[in-house]
Amino acid sequence: MISYLVRRFIQSLVVLVIVSILVFVAMRLLPGDPIRMIITASNTESFTEEQITQVRHEHGLDRPMFIQYFDWVGGFLHGDMGKSILQKVPVSDEVVRRIPITFHLGILAFIIGLLIGIPVGIIGAVRRATWLDTLVTTLSNLGITVPIFWLGILLMYLFGLYLNWLPVMGYTSPFTDFWLSTKQLIMPVFCLAVFPIASTARQTRSSMLEVMHQDYIRTAWAKGVKEQAVIMRHALKNGLIPIVTLAGMGVPMIVGGTVLIETVFNIPGMGRLAVTSVLNQDYPYVQGIILIVSAAVLVVNLMVELVYGWLDPRIRYD
Amino acid sequence: MANQAISDVVNGLVELPPRVSEWRRFRRVFFSRSVVVFGMIILLLFIGVAIIAPLIAPYGPYEPDLEHTLQNPSAAHWLGTDALGRDTLSRIIYGTRTSLEIGLIVVSVACLVGITLGTLAGYYGGWVYIIIMRFVDALMSFPMILLALVVAALLGGGMRNVIIALSVALMPNYARLMCGQVLSVKQNDYILAGRAMGASNLRLMRHVVLNCLSPLIVLITMMLGVTILAEAGLSFLGIGITPPTAAWGSMVNDARQYLLVLPILSFAPGLALMLVVFAFNMVGDGLRDALDPRLRGLL
């Protein structure tokens, strides 16, 4: 078990190193010259070759690529992600300010996805081929196809502009004003949760249908176990493994969704930052965001594998 | 014993069940669900619209009409006009072309590269496997839209770069599927037999690939929907298709500022987008059930 964990951890680290190299090299291939952007951003009207060389030296961009890489990674490990080219502020400050916002949105969407998706899927499977099942199947098929940025605009029109029930955009920390924060979060979190809810419901339904045919379920019925216990204790626990896999795979989907939803609802999180820094070619930001996001996804993958062992003791880690 | 059974059949002593051809079985399962048939009809409709767009679009997609901007739906403009007076319906019709074109090209490119990498990794194993699959894992650890965003940032917007960005983002799915399939198919006896007969690696790989077709076809159909959705997402963020080309995602984005005045301008392109993606997903589901029901839960 321990040796398996160590091995998996090392594998994830290797993937992370590959990601960092890919990102680093990719950013150096950007068409614009960052130096010229730094100088233009500081409003120097004309600049000599000497100045360029000097700025290049100041930013350490005249050193060999691989030294720059190790410098960057070393800095990263100390919490120093470099400075924004345009805003001249340390990337880490901005990122640290924005991570909680995106995390707040994402974790709510993730939890809601499971809390609604699993029961809905169970209802579909247990009441198979009734109108309830048809409703569940149709809604979940729509849920995995709806463009969430469009859904956001639709909701914004209906509840924000037309009915005037909810604030149209923005983000407030729950510690400043909990009620306002909740009202502002309803629409974005719902949009982010639509895909997790729908895909979890689909997966729960089909894995429950599969499990319900097993002999041990018939045995449970035969020995007079109550319906609720058959479903929750005997069927669901065995059907959960593919659902956990899917939930793990849903994390990148939610993170990708925040990019769109934070733009629609004007929320100052990581996703919005990713879009603006890509548009501005502010590469220290892009590098930092990508690395953080992939580290987060890898951690989630590791956690998913641990949950497998708890759900199905037959899975041996060796 | 076996000979006895065969001669019984030959002599007409035992009646064989009627033969059901693969194609008939496929058709029966595929068309048995009404939602799959509905998806297929929608899909054919959109493909038809994309092909004959210039014939059915009432106006040109780039024809500005500054005297009739932001009009409500009317007999002349069924879905109204945008801020430049361009006819929304015509732009949606031309947008179908953009979406399907990008979907087809991206999926073909991603599929070819992914199949090649996945097959090599699965077939040779060892270091080839480790190098290719670690690279694929690295690509898969970022969200598709973020990956496409970075590639689009490197190359800039525009049709060609969107295609490259989405292909890079989509390729790992095919590589991973193919690698898994090859690993299991290559255990089959006919591959061993082929090797014993001295078939070359290339020839064996061809057999392996042909035996992985069912899941590939399903993945291709489903990924068409995903790609179209991702392209719309990028265009919505302003990083995808550049104006004035009609693309659903950028139409939704452009219309956002007129949401209060003319909501239909945002609603209509999104609805078209959702219908197409829904249709691809349903047809993909149908194909999966008809081609290989064991794939349920995997794809």
pLDDT (tens digit per residue) in B250-296: 888 888 888 888 888 889 999 999 999 999 999 988 888 888 766 65
Contacts of B129 (CB under 8 A, 6+ apart): B121, B122, B179
Beta-carbon separation of A150 and B273 below 8 A: yes
Number of H helices, E strands in chain B: 13, 0
State what percent of residues in chain B have pLDDT above 90.
21
Distance CA A31, CA A56 (A): 17
Minimal Cα–Cα distance from B259 to chain A, Å? 7
Residues of B whose CB is below 8 A from A28 = none
In this complex, how many residue pairs, one in chain A and one in chain B, have their CB atoms less than 8 Å apart? 135
Beta-carbon separation of A147 and B260 below 8 A: no
For B211, phi and psi rounded to 5 degrees?
Answer: -80, -5
For residues B244 and B161, the answer to whether their CB atoms sit within 8 Å is no
Minimal Cα–Cα distance from B62 to chain A, Å? 23
Minimal Cα–Cα distance from B253 to chain A, Å? 9
Beta-carbon separation of B282 and A141 below 8 A: yes
For residues A157 and B259, the answer to whether their CB atoms sit within 8 Å is yes
Using CB atoms, pick whichever of A153, A259, A294 lies closest to residue B149: A259
Query: According to the model, what pLDDT value does residue A35 have?
Result: 62
Beta-carbon separation of B267 and A290 below 8 A: no
Distance, first Cα to last Cα, chain B? 43
Structure tokens at A4: 């398996």
Phi-psi group of B33: left, alpha or beta (phi > 0 → left; psi -120 to 50 → alpha; rest → beta): beta
Query: According to the model, what pLDDT value does residue A77 have?
Result: 80
Query: According to the model, what pLDDT value does residue A116 have?
Result: 94
Using CB atoms, pick whichever of B144, B152, B260 lies closest to residue A256: B144
Query: According to the model, what pLDDT value does residue B135 have?
Result: 84
Q: A289 to chain B: nearest residue by CA? A: B146
Minimal Cα–Cα distance from B58 to chain A, Å? 25
Question: What are A252-268's pLDDT values in tens digits?
Answer: 888 889 999 999 999 99
Place of tokens 């349903």: B282
Question: What are B206-231's pLDDT values in tens digits?
Answer: 888 888 888 888 888 888 998 999 99
Query: According to the model, what pLDDT value does residue B96 have?
Result: 92
Distance CA A68, CA A46 (A): 28
3-state secondary structure B99-144: HHHHHHHHHHHHHHHHHHHHHHHHHHCHHHHHHHHHHHHHHHCCCH
Query: Which of B286, B258, B279 shows the shortest CA–CA distance to B99?
Result: B279
Query: According to the model, what pLDDT value does residue A47 have?
Result: 65
Using CB atoms, pick whichever of A207, A210, A252 lies closest to residue B142: A252
Structure tokens at B250: 């950028």
Which residues of chain B fall below pLDDT 70? Answer: 1-20, 293-299
Query: According to the model, what pLDDT value does residue B269 have?
Result: 92
Beta-carbon separation of A252 and B143 below 8 A: yes
Beta-carbon separation of A290 and B238 below 8 A: no
Using CB atoms, pick whichever of A29, A157, A290 lies closest to residue B146: A290
Query: According to the model, what pLDDT value does residue B79 have?
Result: 80
Minimal Cα–Cα distance from B139 to chain A, Å? 7
Residues of B whose CB is below 8 A from A256 = 143-146
Beta-carbon separation of B153 and A147 below 8 A: no
Determine the 3-state secondary structure of A27 from DSSP: helix
Environment class of B138 (CB within 10 Å of its CB; exposed 0-12, middle 13-18, buried 19+)? buried
Beta-carbon separation of A255 and B143 below 8 A: yes
Beta-carbon separation of A147 and B149 below 8 A: no
Determine the 3-state secondary structure of B285 from DSSP: helix
Which residues of chain A fall below pLDDT 70? Answer: 1, 30-47, 58-61, 314-318
Distance CA A73, CA A65 (A): 12
